[in-house]
């Protein structure tokens, strides 16, 4: 899978969690929790979405490595 494919999948999962946000406006390096006002529940639903879509399990300890969309894409790319 290319980085772009991973990025669009991750974005898809994110929109599923917070349907009211606009996918285009999300900068790649922004802190998602801050920008999109995500709480721990939202993050968990996002992580569960990624697992269902790509089969990648992200343990709670690694939440720090998926703060921005860019980090998340790299993290997932290394494991898919």
Partner 1 sequence: MAEFVMPSLGADMSAGVLAKWRVALGDRVAKGDIIAEVETDKGLIEVEVFEAGVVESFLVQEGEKVPVGTVLAEIQTAPASAPAPVSAPVSAPGSIISAGASDLVLDGPLASPAVRRRAHELDVSLPSVRGTGEHGRITLDDLVGVGQRARSAPGARVRISPYARRVAMERGIDISRLSGSGPGGAIQASDVLSVTAHPASAAVSPAERMQRAIAAAMTRANDEIPHYYVEQSIDMANAIAWLRETNASVSVSERLVSGVLVLRAVALALRKHKSLNATWQGPEPVPSAEIHVGLAVSLRGGGLVAPALRNTDQGSLGELMVRMTDLVGRARAGTLRSSEMTSATITLTSLGERGVESVTPIIFPPQVAIVGCGATVERPWVVEGKVVPRPIMRVTLGADHRVSNGHQGSRFLTALDRLLQEPEKL
Euclidean distance between CA atoms 45 and 24, whole angstroms: 21
Site size toward partner 1, by CB under 8 A: 20
Q: Are 50 and 14 in contact (CB under 8 A)?
A: no
Q: Are 10 and 50 in contact (CB under 8 A)?
A: yes
Euclidean distance between CA atoms 20 and 6, whole angstroms: 22
Of 1-9, 23-31, 36-44, 63-71, which segment contacts partner 1 by CB under 8 A?
A: 36-44
Binding residue (CB under 8 A) for partner 1 from 24, 25, 59, 78:
59
**Closest CB to partner 1 among 3 and 52?**
52
Binding residue (CB under 8 A) for partner 1 from 11, 30, 35, 48:
48
């Amino acid at each position: 899978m290319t980085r772009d494919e991973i990025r669009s999948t991750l974005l898809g999962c994110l929109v599923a969690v917070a349907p009211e946000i606009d996918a285009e406006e999300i900068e790649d390096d922004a802190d998602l929790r801050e920008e999109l006002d995500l709480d721990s529940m939202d993050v968990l639903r996002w992580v569960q979405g990624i697992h269902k879509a790509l089969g990648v399990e992200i343990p709670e300890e690694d939440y720090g490595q998926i703060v921005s969309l860019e980090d998340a894409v790299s993290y997932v790319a290394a494991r898919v």
